[in-house]
Structure 1
Amino acid sequence: MSGLLLRLAGPLQSWGERSAFTPVRETAPFPTRSALVGMFAAAEGIARGDTAGLTKYEQVRLTVRIDRPGTLLEDYHTVGGGFPKERTAATSGGSNKDAAVITRRQYLTDAVFVVAVTAPDDLTAQLAAALRRPCWAPYLGRRSCPPDEPFLLRRYVDDPESELLTGVPLTVPEPRDAAGQTVAVQFLRERARPQSSPGAAADVIEINDMPVSFAPHGRAHSGRRLYRTVEPVSRALAGPQKSLLTRLIDYAYAEEQA
């Protein structure tokens, strides 16, 4: 097993969880498995209706480090207002609504997540190649939310989960107090940590975001369990925000120079 590291950052992110085709399009407070698997499949050119093509991603384990949770933003949308009936939004019965369709779409602003993607070596290589030269461009939950660079931090890491604790720069300023060598950071894991590990005590979250099918008229998901922990991360990974981009680029390109 090996893996890669992704940094999900940008002005806006939106990780739909349970609100498809409803007036309020909510966002989960973290990247969902459905969205990340969809990102991988899109990068590899797997069509939405290719349900069999998704089975290989069952081998993938995802760990999310929440550097910055962001701020919830709700955007008010209208579609079709002020037009004749025949030009308003269509209904499922084949007619037209004869009125504007109103939705409220939620986003996370200025959020930053770092994701450790652990998989068998051959699948890690496939994903790394696809994400570096994607068939369809990655986005942060919605097409209107492109990721910042650097996006693919490392393409091959022996233990990407440990790298979240010891290697990847934090998008948080270094604490002003001189005491302590660590910073408390929130993690979301798909398997519980050993009880002897720092920060092992976890809140258990049930979420319905395991993709079964992305078919446009047959989307389906199943449930999974997440373990939310607060863990100590090396203080050395934090630092002045004005040098953050330099630190991230240095970290990402260190792999190229090794």
Structure 2
Amino acid sequence: MSGLLLRLAGPLQSWGERSAFTPVRETAPFPTRSALIGMFAAAQGIARGDTAGLKKYEQVRLTVRVDRPGTLLEDYHTVGGGFPKERTAATSGGSHKDAAVITSRQYLTDAVFVVAVTAPDDLTTQLVAALRHPYWAPYLGRRSCPPDEPFLLRRRVDDPDNELLTGVPLSSPEPRDKSGETITVQFLRERPLPESCPRAAADVIEVNDMPVSFAPHARAHAGRRLYRTMEPVSRALAGPPKSLLTRLIDYAHAEESA
């Protein structure tokens, strides 16, 4: 097993979990497994209807470090207003709504997440190749939300989870409180930490984002558990905001020069 590291950052992100095709399109406060597996499948050119092609991603384990949770933004939308009835939004019965469809769409603004992706070595190699030269471009939950660079932080890491604690620069400023050698950061894990681990205390979250099928007319998801922890990371990973991009680029390029 090995893995890779992704940095999910951008002006807007939106990670839908419960609200498909409803007037309010909500966002989860963190990247969902469904969205991330969808990103990998799209990068590899796997069609939405290829349910069998999703099986290999069951081997993938994801850990999310929340560098910046972002701010919730709700965007007001109308669809199909100001047109004759025959040009307004269609209904499932084949007629037209004869009015604008009003929806609200939620986004996270200025959020930053770092994701440790752990998988068998051969699958890691495939994912890296696909994310560097994707069949369909990756986006942060919706096509209108492209990721910032650097996106693929590391292409091969022996222990991606540990790298989140010890290596990846924090995309948040160093706290004003200068005491102590560590900073407390939120993590979302798919497996509980061992009870012997001093960071073991966790909140258990039930989510419905395990992809079963992405078929357009037969989307299906299963539930899973997430373990939310607050864990200490080295203060050395944080720094002045002005130096963040330089630190990230240096970190990403260190792999190439190693």
- TM norm. shorter chain > 0.5: yes
Runs (4+) of structure 1 moved beyond 4 Å?
Answer: none
Partner of 2:161, secondary structure, is: helix
Aligned partner of 1:60 in structure 2 is 60
1:88 positional shift = 0.2
Residues 72-221 of structure 1: pairs in structure 2 closer than 5 A: 72-221=72-221
- Partners of 1:104 and 1:214 lie apart in 2 by 23
The aligned amino acid for 1:256 is E
Residues 224-235 of structure 1: pairs in structure 2 closer than 5 A: 224-235=224-235
Aligned partner of 1:42 in structure 2 is 42
Partner of 2:103, secondary structure, is: strand
Determine if contact 1:4/1:128 at 8 Å carries over to the other structure: yes
Partner of 1:185, secondary structure, is: strand
- Partners of 1:44 and 1:233 lie apart in 2 by 33
The percent identity for this pair of structures is 88
Aligned partner of 1:22 in structure 2 is 22
1:196 positional shift = 2.4
- Partners of 1:230 and 1:156 lie apart in 2 by 26
Aligned partner of 2:256 in structure 1 is 256
The aligned amino acid for 2:107 is Y
Question: Residues 144-168 of structure 1: CA distance to partner in whole angstroms, max 9, x if unpaired?
Answer: 0000000000010000000000000
Question: Residues 79-118 of structure 1: CA distance to partner in whole angstroms, max 9, x if unpaired?
Answer: 1111000000000001111000000000000000000000
Is 1:244 equivalent to 2:238 in the alignment?
Answer: no
Determine if contact 1:42/1:138 at 8 Å carries over to the other structure: yes
- Partners of 1:89 and 1:13 lie apart in 2 by 26
- Partners of 2:208 and 2:92 lie apart in 1 by 26
Partner of 1:223, secondary structure, is: strand
Root mean square deviation of aligned Cα: 0.6
Determine if contact 1:183/1:234 at 8 Å carries over to the other structure: yes
- Partners of 1:64 and 1:118 lie apart in 2 by 11
- Partners of 1:186 and 1:256 lie apart in 2 by 29
1:243 positional shift = 0.5
1:134 positional shift = 0.4
Determine if contact 1:198/1:231 at 8 Å carries over to the other structure: no
1:172 positional shift = 1.4
TM-score (ref. length: structure 2): 0.99
Determine if contact 1:198/1:232 at 8 Å carries over to the other structure: no
1:195 positional shift = 1.8
- Partners of 1:178 and 1:98 lie apart in 2 by 61
* Alignment gaps of 5+ in structure 2: none
* Alignment gaps of 5+ in structure 1: none
Partner of 2:77, secondary structure, is: strand
Aligned partner of 1:4 in structure 2 is 4
How many residue pairs match? The answer is 258
Determine if contact 1:189/1:226 at 8 Å carries over to the other structure: yes
Question: Residues 33-78 of structure 1: CA distance to partner in whole angstroms, max 9, x if unpaired?
Answer: 0000000000000000000000000000000000000000000000
1:133 positional shift = 0.6
- Partners of 2:99 and 2:149 lie apart in 1 by 41
